Structure 1
Amino acid sequence: MSAPIVIHRPSATGGRRVTVRGQIVGLAHDDHDVVEFLRRAGLPYADPLLDDSSWVQWRGGRAHRYEAA
C-alpha cells in the first residue's frame, strides 16, 4: 500500500503540490501549509505525520524543501 499523502516535487516557481488519496488539496510553500491542508482534509494532528513514510511520500527533491526546482 502506498502512502495516502503525497508531497510532489518542487515546481519551477516554488512550492509543492500536495495530494491526499489522489485529490489535490493545495500548493504548499512550507510545512505549515501542508499541515493546514491536512487539517482541512480531516487530519487535525498532521504535523508528526510529515516524517512518517506510511502516511507521507515526498517525491522529488528533499523532504521539507519547497524552493523552486
Structure 2
Amino acid sequence: MAAERVIVVYPPDETGGRRVRVDGTILGRARDLRDLTEYLRRAGLEGLDDLDVVRSLLIEWRGGGPEDWDPRPP
C-alpha cells in the first residue's frame, strides 16, 4: 500500500540533483519534479503527476521543499 512507503528527497547537491530514497533504497538523483515523479512511478507509485508529488504527505523533503533544486542559498 502506498501510504506505508517511506519516501525521502534529500537536499540538493552541488549540481542541483536531489537524492531520492524509497523504502531505504536509493533510486537516483532527481534534477526536477519530472525526474522525481518518474523515479516514484518506477518504484510502483503509479498515477502521480508533478502536482501530486508537490502536495504528497508521503514525501519527506529534507533541505527544502519541492521548489528547492538549486544548492546555493537564496
TM-score normalised by structure 2 residue count:
0.76
CA RMSD of aligned residues (A): 1.9
Structure 2: unaligned runs, 5 residues or longer: none
Q: 1:49 to 1:36 in 2, by over 3 A?
A: same
- In the alignment, which residue of structure 2 is the partner of 1:13? 15
Matched to 2:30, the amino acid is A
TM-aligned CA deviation for residue 61 of structure 1: 2.1
1:57 aligns to 2:60 (yes or no): yes
TM-aligned CA deviation for residue 23 of structure 1: 0.5
Quick check: 2:20–2:36 contact (8 Å CA) kept in 1? Answer: yes
Q: Relative contact order, CA 8 A, sep 6+: which one is greater?
A: 1
Instruction: Provide the C-alpha distance between the structure 2 equivalents of 1:9 and 1:3, rounded to a whole number of angstroms.
Output: 20
Quick check: 1:16–1:27 contact (8 Å CA) kept in 2? Answer: yes
Structure 1: unaligned runs, 5 residues or longer: none
Match of 1:29 among 28, 31, 39: 31
Bigger radius of gyration among the two: 2
TM-score normalised by structure 1 residue count:
0.81
The size of the alignment, in residue pairs, is 67
Following TM superposition, the consecutive aligned residue runs of length 4 or more in structure 1 with deviations greater than 6 angstroms are none
Percent of aligned positions that are identical: 42
TM-aligned CA deviation for residue 68 of structure 1: 2.2
Quick check: 1:3–1:57 contact (8 Å CA) kept in 2? Answer: no
